Amino acid sequence: MIRALWAFRGFVISSVRREFNGKYRESMLGSFWAVANPLAMISVYAVVFGQIMRPALVGHENRPFAFTIYLCSGMITWSLFGEMLNRLNSVFLEYGNLIKKASFPRICLPIIVALSSLLNFSIVFGLYLLFLVLIGQWPGLPTLALIPLLMLQLLFALGLGILLGTLNVFFRDIGQLTGVVLQFWFWLTPIIYTLSTLPEMAQKLIGLNPLLPLIAAYQTIFLMQQWPDWASLWPLSLLTLFLLWLGGRFFLSRAGEMVDEL
């Protein structure tokens, strides 16, 4: 699959570029909206949630933007995961006509989705980093931890997404179920609230969430300005390897049957 991706890298890159440009082709301001929308979102979080929820962060009550930093670090990274999983869930259905008409490695499609989502995320995240610089809250060297964290998040979403996307071709209820599960998954992840504000039983339940240590790692970098707890990420890393293996194996075993189902 890796050799096939490299051979069709031009197709993948051009598809990502075409998809990004296609979003804003008919608008007067074009790609300006790629910056305006996330900028508006960050501004709302800073003005509204930053003041209302500040007391929820014990030890940071005197930092005016503490909850904004905490909230955005979780929301922006979750949005990358949510967008990838939603799109990967239906990627083979979305490109069904192309699959039936053209001959190319089907694995290119999940990679196109992953790179497109990463491009959208980079714009929003770049504005968030600029916001941190402007308010004097740049994390310093711990920012380098973003590289392995993002790689882990992308691979986890890719493995799970390929598995769900392949299943969705044969069992269309998977697509509907994924949307519902993602809504519950979001609220079971400490992004809008802090884990310490929940009862002990609820904390134990949310502790089973595989994304909890990943989101906590982002929040540690930007709020605490410290390196994340790498040891807490081992379970997610092992789960990611398993999902990549399972998703890839299932995809390869069913790729030939996809055309008939589509």
Instruction: Sketch the domain layout of the chain as residue ranges.
Output: 33-261
Residue-wise pLDDT for 150-163, tens only, equals: 999 999 999 999 99
Please compute the mean of the pLDDT values over residues 83-87 and round it to a whole number: 91
pLDDT at residue 35 is higher than 80: no
pLDDT band at 148 (very low <50, low <70, confident <90, very high): very high
Torsion of Cα atoms, 258 then 259 then 261 then 262, to 10°: 110
Torsion of Cα atoms, 120 then 121 then 127 then 128, to 10°: 160
pLDDT at 175: 84
pLDDT at residue 49 is higher than 70: no
Please compute the mean of the pLDDT values over residues 75-83 and round it to a whole number: 90
pLDDT at residue 8 is higher than 90: no
pLDDT at 182: 93
Q: What is the pTM of this model?
A: 0.89
Tell me how far apart the alpha carbons of residues 237 and 210 are, in angstroms, rounded to a whole number: 10
Q: Which two tokens stand for residue 102?
A: 């053209």
pLDDT at 25: 63
Contact (CB, 8 A) for 24 and 33:
yes
Exposed / middle / buried, residue 103 (Cβ in 10 Å: 0-12, 13-18, 19+): exposed
DSSP code at position 171: -
Residue-wise pLDDT for 132-144, tens only, equals: 999 899 999 999 9
Q: Which helix (H) or strand (E) holds 61?
A: none
DSSP for 110-135 reads HHHHHHHHHHHHHHHHHHHHHHHHHT
147 to each of 122, 124, 140, 151, 154, how far by Cα in Å? 12, 16, 14, 6, 11
Tell me how far apart the alpha carbons of residues 71 and 60 are, in angstroms, rounded to a whole number: 13
Q: What is the mean pLDDT of the chain?
A: 85
pLDDT at residue 33 is higher than 70: no
Q: Which residue has the tokens 């490109």?
A: 95
Tell me how far apart the alpha carbons of residues 111 and 155 are, in angstroms, rounded to a whole number: 11
Residue-wise pLDDT for 61-77, tens only, equals: 677 778 888 888 998 89
